[in-house]
C-alpha cells in the first residue's frame, strides 16, 4: 500500500512538472498578431502593453526601406492592413525575418492570382523550408481554397521523402486546397550538370502536371466535387 502511495505521489509530481513545462513553453510563445491601428489602440488603453511580445502585420511601402550603415537598424513605412489610408514609420533593431521585403506583397498577389499550383520545396532537417512556411502564413485561407495543387520535394537522398506527405500536405489541406494524389521526390542523383536527367523523375513530373491540369478542368466543370469548405473558412 505504501509503495502504491509513493508511486501515485511520484506520478502526480511528474504530471505537475510536465504541466509546468508545457505552460511555461506556451506562455513564452504566446505572440499576439495585431495591425498597427490595433496596436496603437491597445497601447492607448494600457500603457504597460508595450511590455507584451506582439507581432505586427502590415504592408511595407515599396521604396521606403533603408538600413543604417554600421548599425542593425532598419527603417521603413508600413500601411495598415485594416485601413490602407493609415501609414506608420517603423524603426526595427534586429535581423529582419524572411517574410520582410518590399516585394512580398507582389509575390502574394501572384500566388493569389494563379488557378493551380506546383509547390516545390527542398527538404532540410526532415521538413519543408521556413521560407515556404513564411509565405503560406501570408496567404489567406480563401487564397488556396478549392485550388488544385501538386507537390514536389527535393533532397540529397531519399531519407526524408515522406516529409512532403506528412508535413506539407496537411498544411495545404488546412487551406482546403485540392491536392493531386501522390508526390514527386527528386534527389541529387536525378540531376546532371544542373539539369534534371533521370527518365523516371521526368515522367513523374509530367504525370503530376497532367494530373493538376486534368483535376483543375474537372473542378471547373463540376465545382461540387471539391466538397465542403475547410474548417478554417467556416
Q: Digits of tens for pLDDT over the chain (234 positions)?
A: 555 544 444 444 444 444 433 334 434 444 446 777 777 787 788 777 666 666 677 777 878 888 877 777 888 888 876 677 888 888 777 766 655 655 666 777 788 889 999 999 999 888 999 888 888 888 888 889 999 999 999 988 888 889 999 999 999 999 999 999 989 999 999 999 989 999 999 999 999 999 999 999 999 999 888 888 888 777
* Nearest CA among 104, 112, 158 for reference residue 135: 104
CA angle, 116 as apex, 179 and 198 as ends, to 5°? 75
Residue 53: φ, ψ to 5°: -70, 130
pTM: 0.60
Kindly provide the residue ranges of all beta strands, DSSP E only, lying in the chain, ordered along the sequence.
32-34, 54-56, 59-60, 66-68, 73-79, 87-92, 116-124, 127-128, 148-155, 178-179, 184-187, 191-192, 195-196
Residue 69: φ, ψ to 5°: -60, 135
Residues of CATH 3.40.50.360 domain(s) within the chain?
104-233
Supply 61's cell numbers.
511601402
Class of domain 104-233 as given by CATH: alpha beta
Amino acid at each position: 500500500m505504501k509503495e502504491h502511495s509513493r508511486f501515485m505521489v511520484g506520478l502526480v509530481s511528474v504530471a505537475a512538472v510536465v504541466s509546468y513545462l508545457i505552460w511555461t513553453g506556451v506562455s513564452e510563445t504566446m505572440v499576439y498578431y495585431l495591425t498597427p491601428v490595433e496596436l496603437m489602440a491597445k497601447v492607448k488603453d494600457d500603457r504597460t502593453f508595450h511590455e507584451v511580445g506582439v507581432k505586427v502585420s502590415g504592408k511595407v511601402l515599396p521604396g521606403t526601406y533603408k538600413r543604417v550603415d554600421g548599425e542593425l537598424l532598419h527603417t521603413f513605412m508600413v500601411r495598415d492592413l485594416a485601413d490602407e489610408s493609415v501609414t506608420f514609420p517603423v524603426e526595427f533593431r534586429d535581423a529582419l525575418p524572411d517574410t520582410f521585403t518590399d516585394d512580398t506583397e507582389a509575390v502574394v498577389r501572384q500566388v493569389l492570382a494563379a488557378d493551380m499550383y506546383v509547390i516545390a520545396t527542398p527538404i532540410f532537417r526532415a521538413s519543408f523550408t521556413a521560407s515556404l512556411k513564411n509565405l503560406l502564413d501570408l496567404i489567406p485561407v480563401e487564397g488556396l481554397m478549392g485550388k488544385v495543387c501538386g507537390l514536389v520535394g527535393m533532397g540529397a537522398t531519399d531519407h526524408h521523402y515522406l516529409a512532403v506527405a506528412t508535413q506539407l500536405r496537411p498544411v495545404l489541406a488546412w487551406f482546403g486546397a485540392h491536392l493531386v494524389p501522390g508526390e514527386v521526390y527528386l534527389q541529387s542523383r536525378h540531376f546532371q550538370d544542373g539539369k534534371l536527367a533521370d527518365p523516371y523523375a521526368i515522367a513523374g513530373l509530367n504525370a503530376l502536371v497532367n494530373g493538376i491540369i486534368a483535376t483543375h478542368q474537372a473542378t471547373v466543370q463540376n465545382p461540387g466535387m471539391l466538397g465542403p469548405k475547410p474548417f478554417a473558412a467556416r
